Structures are given as C-alpha cells and as structure tokens.
Structure 1
C-alpha cells in the first residue's frame, strides 16, 4: 500500500540525547537503545471514516519519537498497518450503501492527505490487512503447529493460555479483561470457546462478506493476528517500540504479543509498549460511536493552518488524556504568529539554550509541551514582550527554525 510523501528533516548541528520512553508494561521510563535501525510499529486506522483529532494526536506523538531517534543519530524503520477489511468497515459500507473497497480506499486517501498536511513522517512500510493475508496465513500455521489454535464452526481461535506471558503487557487481571473484551471487539460468550478471552485469528466466510482462500477454508484475518503478522514480517521479534492509543492496551496489543510469542517462543514481541492518551470533546472521549468527532480534514477545509492544528496537539503530552476546545486552536494560531514575527527578525535571543532544551525535552518521554514552552520563551525574549527585546544572537532565527522543524515537525 502506498504511504504519503514524507517531509525532509533538516540536519541539526548537534545530536539529540538518547530517547527515554514510558513503558506500559513496567510503568517506568525506559531508555531505548536500538541496535541497528530503531524499529517502530504503530497500529493504523480502520478506514471507515475520516481522521479525527484523537487519531492525529496519537500519530503526532509517535512522529515525535521517530524524529527524536533520528535526531539522536539513528536510522528508523517505521511500520504502520491499515485494517482495510474488518467488521466496522463492512458495517459502515453496508449502512451507507457504498462498496467496502471504495470506502476503504477513499478514507485511506483522506488519511494520507491529513498526515501530509500535519507533516507526519511516513512509514517505511504501510501495509493493508488485505495485502498481509499471506503473512497472516503463515503465522496461523505456526500457531497451529504450536498447538495453540482450535476451530469453532468455521472460525479459528487462539488459546490465550498458550502464551505464558499473557496479561503481562496490559497488567490487567482476568475480571478487568472480561469486562473490557466485549467492548473492544471480543466475543467472550460464544459457545464452543475454550476460554472466554480466546480471540479469533481466522473468520470463516459469511454470506455477503469478502473472503480469501486459505488452508483453513475461505475467510479473512482476525484483527490482532493481522498486526502481529505485519510487525513480524517487517520488523522481526523483540523490536524497539509498539505504539498506539491507550485503548489498544487490551485486548489488541496483549493479543498481538501473544500471537508472536507463541509463534516464536523465547522472544518478546516488543521491548517497549508505549500508549498515547485519549482526546475528549464535549465531555466524552472522541469516538465514532458517540459522534463527537472533530475531523482534521474539516479544520483544514475551513482554512485553518495545519501547523496550528499540529501545535495545538503538541501543547499536550502524548500520554495525557485531555479535552479539545476551539480555544486550543486559536491559542495555537496566536502562538504561531508570535513565533513567525520573532523568526522574521533573523537575529534573536541566544539559540543554543532553546535548541538544547527542545532536544532534551523530546528525549524525555516526548515532552512536547516543555519543548513548545522553550520556543515560546525564546520568541518572547526576542520580541521583548516581557521587557527589553534581545537580538544578541545574529544567527538565532535559523537555528531555532531548524530545531522547530527537525524535532517538533513544525514548518514555521
């Protein structure tokens, strides 16, 4: 599948520090130490609607990680999937009377346009569920060989108990898992399952639904096995970071890890599991089911500067839960105007401290608000809004402009 065009990252005169990231498994800050290219997998969209600000916040968060690694001198292999066949997509297509392939292609293209406008670095491998089916089949066969798969009517399930580490990624007890599982695509009450938490890896053909031939009969992949197969194919085992929204901790990331770890005993799926917070609107988490969505494309089409959208999102730490308001956007618009006035002067307050602070902040669990505050202090000092203007560094604007672009992804 085609990704979007990736913006160039300017070269910084100094290297960023090693990148530390909060690990969901341990609850601790972990310094990432990639051996060779840093390997990152971030779960992608199910393309049955447009990109909302909750999606954008997640992908911007991991874009900061991608940039921080690159600024620290690492190459990065970034992989993202597109779940271009799944129940929500098929249900939406039926409801609006549109071919499911046409719907998936249309919304994926809109997502590409949104990511391009927000200057998110594109993945090296952007892989759809449909094109990953050969890898999914191979992974299921490995799970079968391990004795971890069983049949319920035309569907195949994986036994979660086959993975001795099941539950370690999320840290949830069984009661909490059973509460959440049906809310997030699980079917704990299905007769014939060995364990209510077992997840489907191959969904047998249903009338009117797309299906593909396989050694298990016609059907299509389960959600979790899709991501596991794509990650294993392009990143191998024990890759550096598995990322996504906090709503993916369980069951999605727990199940992905289980599939990979049963298929390759003794290997962890990922070294670090990192999760972005949820964005609310009108008092509730932004979601399609609630209908309280603010779409990136709608903001762009109303002549809002995409850099203001990006800055508004960067004003919140990627792991925080927060609520979007129109005031967030207009504050970002005003901040960008101040920065641009300061940068237009050429000379400004000393750039060295702000460059150092921005890189240090982003290496410290992607602390974008701290980095934004450092740039804002520089702009105020340069413009003299807090007193006498400081234009003592003749090359300040270029240095600050470069770090804003390279580290924060803002074209100012």
Structure 2
C-alpha cells in the first residue's frame, strides 16, 4: 500500500505449513534449564508447567483451527503514519437506537486477541441476552509493533502517538465522534485520546489508572493514596523486572525470545498467570489453546521485541504530559484480580470520574477472562453518551 493511501484492505492470514513444521522442530529441540526442586512459580515460570505446555504446542495444538476462528472477525489493514495497521472493524447488529462507535486499545503481552471474545457481545447484545439498544460499532487495532500491524523501523511510537493514529483511523472509518476504552498500555492510549482529541471522544473507560506520577506535596495525598503508592513500589520491586528490561535493554531479551518459542512462551505465560484472576491456576482463566494462540501471534509475526520497545518510548513521555488531568467523563472498572488497583481518591485526582465499579471476577485480561462482565461494564458506562454520537461512514468496508 502506498504511504499516502488511506485505502482499507480486507485482511486474512493463513500460515504456511512449513512455518509450523519449523516451529515444531524448535519446540522439540528445546534445551531446558534446571530448576530447584519444588520451585513452582516462585522464581518465574514453572518449568514443569512449561514442559507440559510446550509438549501440547508441538504435538496437539491446532493452529489452523485457531487461525480460522480469528478469521471470523472482520479484519482489515490500512496505512497510517507510514505504517500498515491491522484492525478489527465489527459493525452493530440489529441495533434499536443510536450506535456508538468504540475503539478498544490493548496492552502487553497481547494484541487484538484481548478483545476477540467480547466483540460479538458488544456488536450484537440482543443475541446474548442484553438490550439491543446497547450495540456498538467496534474497532480493535493492533498497536504498531504488535500482532499484524507493522513494526516501526525507527523509534517506537509512545501512547500519545498511538492515540493520534487511532483518531486518524476513526476518521478514515467515518466516525466523527466515538468512545474509547482500554486496559494496560491501552488505558494510556485511551487517556491520551481523551486528552488530545476531546472534540472527537464522548467518554473514556479504563481498567486501571496507570502507575502513579505525582509531583506535589505528599501531605496532599490521602492515607489511601499514600498506602497505594507504597503498594505500587513494592509491586515494582518484586514483579517489575520485566518492565525494567523492556524500558532499558529490550533488544538483549528480544534475541532469545525471538529465537526460542519455549522462551517466548515462558516470558508471556508467567504474566498471564500472575495478572489474571486465577488464584495461581492459570488454566482457570485460559485454556492451553488460548494461551498458545496469544503466544503464536507474537511468534509468527516476530513482534516480541517491537512490543517491548514501546515501554522505552513511554518511559520518555515528559512528566508534564503524565500529570495532565482528564476532564472527559471517565469510568473505571477495577477488576478484582488486576494488579496495583488505585483508590478512588487517586482516580478523582487525575480524571473527571463519573463511575468506578469493582467487578467480583476478572483480572488484568478481563475482556478475555470474563467477556460477559466486561461487556456489561462497557454497556452500562457508555449508555448515557449514545445520544452525543451519530454513527455514519465507513461504507467502504460494509459487508466486506
């Protein structure tokens, strides 16, 4: 696609059998590390579990079936900012009122995969026991350097730059106004959509408040905020080594993770377990096939290094940008099993909060772990803002 063209192209992906054979050969040739007896997950990924997962990957996992399931989502590519951007664009079905366009932003270590279960619940609520009037047109892009979007050859985009791309994407699709939602890095992208494109965004929903940045007098903080700051610092000391690597020396780890599928799975699966609402049993939240589908999206596209580099880009965002308050109506769903959940006082300090809800189940990957709960969170939050939007445009891909 030429750089200047905003033309949308339907996207399908069919992996060559030779690529799968090469992957299986690598998996079967894995050189395994030793591990202390009964170490479990205490030192990182449980090697015993990983052996089990890799054996399933090599001998049982049916990637063509998973690829075909993902292909049922309406997927496209478009060139924006010199990069090919892959995205899902699923239109509302049988809506009985104004249709709200909604752009959903993912985080790490995931991609459009995060929202693959929730898309049909949002586009066709009537078919899933909800009110058809709550239907959305759903747009789920892969961020640059993730999934099937292009990897930047120069510096990675930060969350501010990605928000600008998403505003441009929604313009290309014909949506003058829309809602924004996300979690993890996608929460930051949604925040900057609300900050920098307030004329376009009607409201913003987030699953977290991000890590705390505060340059004022600590005495101004509430006791709950001070306790949270302490908890976040403790979490960073015990769980944040991955982020320090991503911010500082991502290319060192990228060599091994791009070369070894077992190593890549170890890097990702440990986070899926630690950040989900699974009480230590990862398969309470994800089946082996679901875990491996997420890992495959990194393996086949070679995007683990480029995804990690976004942390470095975000670490360079100026403090004055991080400190800006979101005046757009903001809603938060703080799922029980998520990490570093902020107190309401902090959310109100940083955003114009109109709702905070704490669902009883779900974690960092709630749209995948608990899609029905997450869909209801979005329906309830965005319901008052539907009248502000007229859904139009996007005819170039209707029915594609």
TM-score w.r.t. structure 2 length?
A: 0.28
TM-score (norm 1): 0.28
